[in-house]
Chain A
Amino acid sequence: MLIPVILGVSFLVYVMMDLAPGNMIDMISGDMTEQEVAQLYHEYGYDRSVFYRYFHYMKGLVRGDLGYSPVYRQEVWKLYMQRLPATIKLAGASILVCIVLSIPLGIKSATKRGSLTDNTCSVLAILGLSMPNFWLGLMLMVYFGLRLHWLPSSGDTEGIKSLILPAFTVGTGLMATLMRTTRSSMLDVLRQDYLRTARSKGVPERTVINKHALRNALIPIITVIGNQMGHALGGAVVTENVFSWPGVGRMLIDAIRQRDANTVTGCLIMTTIMISVIMLIVDIVYAFADPRLKAQYAAPRKIAPKTPQAEGGERA
């Protein structure tokens, strides 16, 4: 499944970069001689068709080589690895913000259905969805960064502090879906009989909700969190721009402008692979969270040899 997608993505990008006016050699050949330009053309295959270039690139890809960027004068792999940690930090922190805010609010909305809390949360969720996140980023930057000077407004220079605003910006965009999913999943679970059994055992109400109910409600939520990670990686792109965050997204936009086909393709392929890996991890976590699935994957247990008394119904 992954392979055709990678093939498709890379082909698409190569073709589109080709269709766009200009190519990467032209972008950097400002003060080169004609001869040098012609040489670069030949080196990068711009004297041949796009299919030739694509084929060449794929040959390299199969060997694990993501190509070389003449624009940045670096191997694409190195470029990607340089910028990746920043993007992962941002995406990770955003998901964390999202989870920490959405799940408790979702639970409260479900347990107090129809109340003021519930309605307020729905409104907040839809607001978060409707706000362009770069605008939120700008506004936050203005108030917390520039006016109040509490938090840095750009760059990744102050560790956790510089992470707060960008993570919050991206995270709130993801909140809406996660909060709604938590709420509806909890609503389904709250109707279940086994909660009544728990209460009947004398389990305190708070434990009934936070242990017995939540543990079951989390199962579908895990899948949604996985999807949101994909969105986090995408939503980070514009936010990285607003906060001058040195991540992959910013570089990609720049590379597209410069028609750097190798960089764009290489980075997109890596991103696709990463998202697929994340989805795979989510699937595994999901299988562990739901015992009904875990049993399917577990190896068959040895059945203990029957002792004579266990037969029949009489016990000694």
Chain B
Amino acid sequence: MSQIENKAANAPENDPILDIRDLTVHYVLEDDCVEAVNDISLQLKKGRILGLVGETGAGKTSTALAIQNLIPSPPGVIKSGQVLLNGRDVLKMSTKELEAIRGKDVSMIFQDPMTSLNPVFTVGEQIAESIRLHENCSDREALERAGDMLELVRIPRERAVEYPHQFSGGMKQRVAIAIALACNPHLLLADEPTTALDVTIQAQVLDMMLDLKRQLGTSMIFITHDLGIVAEICDEVAVMYAGRIIERGTLEEVFNRTRHPYTEGLFNSIPDIGDRKAELRPIPGLMPDPTKLPKGCAFAPRCPYSRPECIDTPQTERMFSPTHGVRCSAYADPAFRIARKEIEA
């Protein structure tokens, strides 16, 4: 343990590019309060890809929006926490400072490529706008570089004068990636970028993103509910449920030495193509109502290992290695194990 700790202390290049501490985001509606993100903490080092996994409604998108401080302000409220981007707290920045870092230090691509591009401007213009905002260059230069970005995402640069509706879904998403990477940000937030695309296109886009990471060294947070994608491109994983990170660690740790019952349930839900006769094993029940979350573990009603006290006991994070953390009070008992077998690396 001490060996790993020292390394972290003495290597400034290993400073986390993103450090989220105790972030809580609620949406205050007329009668209810949706507790979207509850007390999460997360670090990401330079050049790494973190997979943020969870079902719809787990709070992943809200987390990503919070990193750019883009939570829509009525009704969203940041109740507490810090989001340190390169050491500076995004949540405390002024509007001008935020406008300076958005698109330049941290960028985001969104889930639905069909609606995330402005239909009345050419794609070249939309990319160039980002460049013009953050870099000191002429219009002509900006358009030149926009063309370069298009080529980077494997779209012929002549198409910069075309409008979004003239591109297919996969190409639109690639344009979105070009826009996001135009100013070479330190951190890229990708909110389910391939969910709306065909599987074959998905493969192309993922391929390209990996390529870009290698070329540009961009750190990424990749939000998805697809564990297959996580396995392909992520270095680290964080699993979210009901606004909490219930397990996080390196890819190897979370996949091969899974600890949390929910994560186990996710793996079990994946149909095994080798065993066609086996029954599907979905996780029974539904996600809890985000306006009425329990004090303790929100997964308890659906958890096969739950005990009566789970739902009331506040869940603290237990570290199984410097990087592998789990929130499950069952581990208070050191003998507790889930059914999923461990696979040694």
Q: Do chains A and B touch in the complex (CB under 8 A)?
A: yes
**Neighbouring A residues of B115 by C-beta, 8 Å:** 192-194
Q: Is the CB of B130 within 8 A of A201?
A: yes
Determine which of A202, A216, A315 lies in contact with B118 in the assembled complex, contact meaning CB atoms within 8 Å. A216
Q: With an 8 A cutoff between CB atoms, is A27 at the interface? A: no
Q: A194 touching B116 by the CB < 8 A rule?
A: yes
- A313, B180: Cα distance in complex, Å: 21
Contacting residues of chain B (175-196) with chain A, CB-CB under 8 angstroms:
176, 179-180
Decide: A203 and B110 in contact? CB cutoff 8 A: no
Are B120 and A215 in contact, CB atoms less than 8 angstroms apart?
Answer: yes
Instruction: Give the residues in chain A near B100, CB-CB below 8 Å.
Output: 202
Cβ–Cβ contact A295 & B165, under 8 A: yes
Asked, given contacts A203-B99, A291-B165, A310-B156, whether A193 binds B116 with beta carbons under 8 Å apart, the answer is yes
Does A65 reach chain B (CB closer than 8 Å)?
A: no
B342 at the interface (CB under 8 A from A): no
A193 touches B112 (CB 8 A): yes
A196 within 8 Å of B (CB atoms): yes
Does B317 have its Cβ within 8 Å of any Cβ on chain A? no
Partner among A198, A202, A291 whose Cβ is within 8 Å of the Cβ of B163:
A291
A94 to B318, CA, bound (A): 72
Which residue of the partner chain B has the closest CB to A192?
Answer: B115
Q: In the complex the two chains form, what is the Cα distance from A204 to B6 in whole Å?
A: 42
Chain A contact residues, majority secondary structure? helix
Q: Which range contains the number of A residues in contact with the other chain?
A: 20 to 34
Residues of chain B in range 7-29 having any CB-CB distance to chain A below 8 Å: none
B323 at the interface (CB under 8 A from A): no
Interchain CB contact under 8 A, B117 and A200: no
Q: Are A197 and B117 in contact (CB under 8 A)?
A: yes
Choose the segment among B101-109, B229-237, B260-268 that binds chain A (4+ C-beta atoms closer than 8 Å). B101-109
Give per-residue flags for B275-303: 1 if the beta carbon is below 8 A from chain A beta carbons, else 0: 00000000000000000000000000000
Closest approach, in angstroms, between the C-beta of A241 and any C-beta of chain B? 43
Q: Does residue B133 face the partner (Cβ distance < 8 Å to A)? A: yes
Q: Does B168 contact A (CB under 8 A)?
A: no
Q: Is the beta-carbon distance between A197 and B179 smaller than 8 angstroms?
A: yes
Contact A292 B95 (CB under 8 A): no
Residue from the set A198, A219, A304 with the largest chain B CB neighbour count within 10 Å: A198
The answer to whether the Cβ of A290 comes within 8 Å of any Cβ in the partner chain is yes
B166 on the A face (CB < 8 A):
yes
A108 at the interface (CB under 8 A from B): no
**Can you list 8 A-B pairs, Cβ within 8 angstroms, ordered by A?**
A197-B117, A202-B130, A215-B121, A219-B120, A291-B165, A295-B163, A295-B166, A304-B158
5 closest pairs, A vs B, by CB?
A202-B102, A202-B103, A201-B103, A193-B115, A291-B163
Chain A residues at the B interface, C-beta cutoff of 8 Å: 192-194, 196-205, 212, 215-216, 219, 289-292, 295, 304, 310, 313, 315
| Further contacts, 12 of them, CB under 8 A, given A202-B130, A202-B133, A212-B118 | A193-B110, A196-B116, A197-B116, A200-B102, A200-B108, A201-B107, A201-B179, A215-B120, A289-B120, A291-B120, A291-B122, A310-B156
